[in-house]
């Protein structure tokens, strides 16, 4: 079975630009969550979507937004990129709201 897939795997952006990260959950999973992991730290919660509705939002600025599509895939958008947005962005899917399985992440570098 395919796990959680994220794209792209790596990308480099310039300060002030916009970025869109994509996630496809495990087949049958209806919940998708996004996390930011800065080097050397644990992941920080950004958003959770369940059945296409936002269920939770972490302590991130409004430059961060997300949505979930009818097929349960999801996009994370970040506007006006800052150097501090450089991180590994992780997507997790779960059946319901419990055990979360993570993708390999998207490594974003802002220069």
Residues that bind other proteins (CB under 8 A): 4, 6, 33, 35, 40-45, 48, 50, 55-56, 58, 88, 90, 92, 97-105, 107
- CB of 11 vs other proteins, minimal distance in Å: 14
Complex with other proteins: residue 25 or 43, whichever CB lies closer: 43
Nearer to other proteins, 10 or 18 (CB): 10
In order of 16, 78, 82, 93, 94, the CA distances from 103 in angstroms are 27, 19, 24, 8, 12
Q: Are 100 and 32 in contact (CB under 8 A)?
A: no
> What minimum distance in Å lies between the beta carbon of 95 and other proteins?
12
Least distance to other proteins from the beta carbon of 100, Å? 6
CA distance 9 to 38: 16
As given in the structure block, the two tokens for residue 34 are 């996004």
């Amino acid at each position: 079975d395919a796990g959680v897939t994220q794209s792209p795997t790596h990308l480099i952006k310039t300060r002030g630009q916009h970025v869109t990260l994509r996630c496809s959950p495990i087949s049958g999973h209806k919940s998708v969550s996004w996390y930011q992991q800065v080097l050397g730290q644990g992941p920080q919660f950004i958003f959770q979507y369940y059945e296409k509705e936002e269920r939770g939002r972490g302590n991130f600025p409004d430059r961060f937004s997300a949505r979930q599509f009818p097929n349960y895939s999801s996009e994370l958008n970040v506007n006006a990129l800052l150097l501090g947005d450089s991180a590994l962005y992780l997507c997790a899917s779960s059946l319901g709201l419990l055990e979360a399985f993570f993708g390999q992440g998207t490594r974003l570098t802002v220069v």
